[in-house]
Structure 1
């Protein structure tokens, strides 16, 4: 079985460099496939590291210059090393505030499990004017989707707004629908769907695509400081998984705190 070793380091690649030969490496990785990600897509077998920075990558003889009595030598046994992954499509800040300041249910599945976590969060945060969260899976329901009645049983006096795991639908309770004046007579917005009970015609509790924008006025408005705190939290999480760069695919210019 093959593994990737990911180095999240300050990259200063000097292939075959002897200029820093006087420096002693803290760690040397040897006998591997080292993807340097430099302009020439250089692949080497060895890398020397000191104080979290790469001193050199190159041949065995190049790296020998950085070996000292206290240097840790790690034989990669032909495994692969990369300087860090780049995730080319994420919504880091938008998602991170949910994880830090609201209820996230993506670690469980099933309607009962979702309801349990949301209720626990509501009980633990009685002063919140809006119970907000994310992470449910649309596939846990039939074609009509999640029902408002499940959330009504948790709290019928405060709006509850839950964003789906994929970010394309929203599960809300009756209070949220009432506050936004969404009724059986409310038409679908362009590019969106207000799911309605086929028997009664009443909104069922699922808003899809652009219909989610109807909840903007009552959704929690996170502060700039909250976004900062969340970004620092998710940065640490991503680095721990070897992700060194991300592209935010939704820099919301309409939200100055987010932007």
Structure 2
């Protein structure tokens, strides 16, 4: 077979060998037809073959993100974006500027503020009242497990000192019970009835803005971990994906993970299955599928809602009675996970605390006992704390460990809002990726963007070093929790391809597979481990098409693009 494209003079990490090899890649019809030396591949060339000189750069399988929220992230980019602010004053100033620039907006909506910018991680409403006293303001935090609102927002939602904490949620309060300004988990839902709906056009443009960023980071496929059945006038994210695919705007390969609404009960399963079938009847599953269900088992450690076996400590180091929040009773979780599994669907768990991990694994064990073994490829995401006795259960249950490696390091939120409130020794069991790998658990990798950057290179750096790029801090936890470079690269490539049921066609570079590639400016495997973060994606290819080229100055999201896209919010 003749090659339409030859990638020449580069290093190639196929995912099948121990490391990169010096090789060329022949591509035809969107697929790889050969990987080998220049001499071996020269017979595939014709006068019409397009030759691409890699100039010694490294070709990898395209990165695939196993846990990400592109549409929500894109919407937030186009609203009041607080992801880059470095302090409380800057956050308030950003809100004030956005409000002044958008006088016609009935609500000021946005996201991205970090809890460590504020004392106790819980900003007060008076900070927002000072700059926007006349309109509701509602801003989701970086981890999306809490929100910051002003007085007008609480008034609009009818929330007062007499409003009880909802099941699965908590309001921060003043001494007299008045809402202080921050709400957690299920308490965020108290605003749903009054917040403006997200319109279709904003969501669609948000997807395109996010895709542009992700392609620039070498990401060729992802699992969107929050695709809900829409309520009211909110845009349907599954419809957005379908329309983008039909229009040719969706370049990446997408697994849409349908959201299990913890208030809807078993009746929602019929609608989820019907939506799965609707997508399957229209699209190639390598382009778009909806055969997975997201189950949020618990909250997050920094607001003490991650479900733990041990109690949280208070600010004086004393034991409390709080073990976090389980959003489902264990028997209830077993029941609907077994039903989802019986429908042939994958379950994608948010399981952050060790009690949540136990509950999720117990549910998978119940499903297997009821339905028998299968190849649905269930996975648990986040895994901040895992008991040793549960680590061995991952391979036993064929449950994949979905790791957010970027979080496995010391940083302000970890050191001031999390570790001081967990039992002694918890740091050693934090993000136990190395133990999971040693036990034979299959690793897949994701970012949880916009909770943190989607950049796979940054996450790879942390997975190997257990320190953030440029930080002079000790590694988080013992040496045994570190991953090798190969382990984390494989998790980000064929590991996630496996979890997305795309491994037969993507995830490695070998003849017959789709030409989904990321090209880096350096050979990652030759860098000192403390310099891994220096690598830069220069090109991204999907199906033999270059969809991102850094040399062509295609900025991920220029200010001009941002201004143009923000017009959809006007």
The alignment partner of 1:123 has SS state of helix
Indicate yes or no: 2:5 matched with 1:29: no
Q: CA separation in 1, counterparts of 2:183 and 2:99?
A: 22
- Which whole-Å deviations, capped at 9, do the CAs of 1:65-111 have from their partners, x for residues lacking one? 338698343342xx6421311000011112211112x1111111211
Q: Distance in 2 between matches of 1:193 and 1:132?
A: 21
Superposed, which structure 2 residues align to 1:1-259 within 5 Å? 19-20=1-2, 23=4, 25=5, 28-35=7-14, 45-48=22-25, 53=30, 56-60=33-37, 61-65=39-43, 66=45, 71-76=51-56, 80-100=58-78, 102-143=79-120, 145-197=122-174, 199-255=175-231, 257-259=235-237
Q: 1:57 to 1:63 in 2, by over 3 A?
A: same
**CA 1:54–1:210: 2 relative to 1, 3 Å:** same
For 1:45 and 1:187, the matched residues in 2 are separated by: 64
Residue 154 of structure 1 and its aligned partner are, at CA, apart by: 1.0
Q: Hey, what does 2:298 align to over in structure 1?
A: none
Q: 2:10, 2:58 within 8 Å by CA — same for their partners in 1?
A: no
Corresponding residue number in structure 2 for 1:12:
none
User: Using a 3 Å threshold, how does the CA distance of structure 1 residues 32 and 156 change in structure 2: closer, same or farther?
Assistant: same
C-alpha deviation, 1:188, in angstroms: 0.4
- Normalized per residue, which structure has more strand? 1
Residue 48 (structure 1) shift: 3.6
Q: Which structure has the greater CA radius of gyration?
A: 1
Structure 1: unaligned runs, 5 residues or longer: 1-18
Q: Is the 8 Å Cα contact of residues 182 and 203 (structure 1) preserved in structure 2?
A: yes
The unaligned stretches of length 5 or more in structure 2 are 238-570
Q: 1:46 touches 1:59 (CA, 8 Å); kept in 2?
A: yes
Structure 2 CA distance for partners of 1:70 and 1:148, relative to 1, 3 Å = closer
Aligned-pair distance for 1:142?
2.3
Shift of 1:186: 1.0
**Which moves more between the two structures, 171-180 or 64-73?**
64-73
Change (3 A) 1:87 1:94: same
TM-score where L is the length of structure 1:
0.80
TM-score, normalised relative to structure 2: 0.38
SS in 2 for 1:195: strand
Q: What is the alpha-carbon root mean square deviation over aligned residues?
A: 2.8
Please tell me whether the aligned partners of residues 46 and 63 of structure 1 are also in contact (alpha carbons under 8 angstroms): no
Q: After TM superposition, give the deviation of residue 140 of structure 1 in Å.
A: 1.6
Contact 1:161–1:173, Cα closer than 8 Å, also in 2: yes
Shift of 1:125: 0.4
Q: Distance in 2 between matches of 1:49 and 1:147?
A: 59
Contact preservation (8 Å) 2:12, 2:24: no
**Equivalent pairs, count:** 232
Q: How far apart are residue 144 of structure 1 and its match?
A: 6.5
CA–CA distance in structure 2, aligned partners of residues 144 and 71 of structure 1 = 54
1:257, distance to aligned residue in structure 2 (A): 1.8
**Residue 237 and residue 180 in structure 1: after superposition, are their counterparts in 2 closer, same or farther (change >3 A)?**
same
Maintained 8 Å contact 1:56/1:63: no
SS at match of 1:94: helix
Structure 2 Cα separation of the partners of residues 222 and 126 of structure 1: 18
Residues 140-173 of structure 1: per-residue CA shift (max 9 Å, x gap): 2223610000000111110000000110000000
SS for the counterpart of 2:226 is coil
